[in-house]
Chain A
């Protein structure tokens, strides 16, 4: 099984985890992406959304499990075909929530280019933007190194 281990800077990443956990907590009862399910009858829509929410919560739990005792000892997190898809989806969900909750005042073009000047943001928005970029970096690493495992899985 192909596995990549990433050494993260503890002083940089550890302070971001509280905000990431808050976003995950906020996602506990809601879906990250907008839903367009008006064509479904109510019973099906309810079951559909419950299934999506269950999957989203499971992905977020698996993502947060990366930041365990070993991470705080060594700064290392590992990705393989067993967790890559869940981590990718969790990062997407958390980034969507951060954009909705903490970064809603940034224009789309700034968000799309990840080009915000953090020195021009308030402290809360700057931290949220660092989380947003950090999660994108994890996604890029997984896509770059584990795309075959994901596509074949």
Chain B
């Protein structure tokens, strides 16, 4: 009898834990959890360059993530200040970039690449906030 009660209690507990974990997953969402592949803006440092393809390590987040970005044919590259248009080959490893585009069919398609100026006030602000524990894309 006791064994049966224990068994039922165990099953209920397992069910409860399972439900709670599922509920947490369903409620998690993108907001507050750092960057996601579905974001249409990614900010990060270029770690490698391919044929109109860049790999970035995201910046100003709690935990950096790595994304491979494919440049669409119409994707241009420019400096975020004053829009000096650049050729793709002028991108360098270590450049801090903002990439605008969208995720589709397993690819992150870049429509525009901005080369950010590390001395820009907004970039400095994101860096200072991250240092203070207020991370980018960890909305509160």
Partners in one complex: no
Q: Which positions in A face B, CB cutoff 8 Å?
A: none
Measured CB to CB, the residues of B under 8 A from A are none
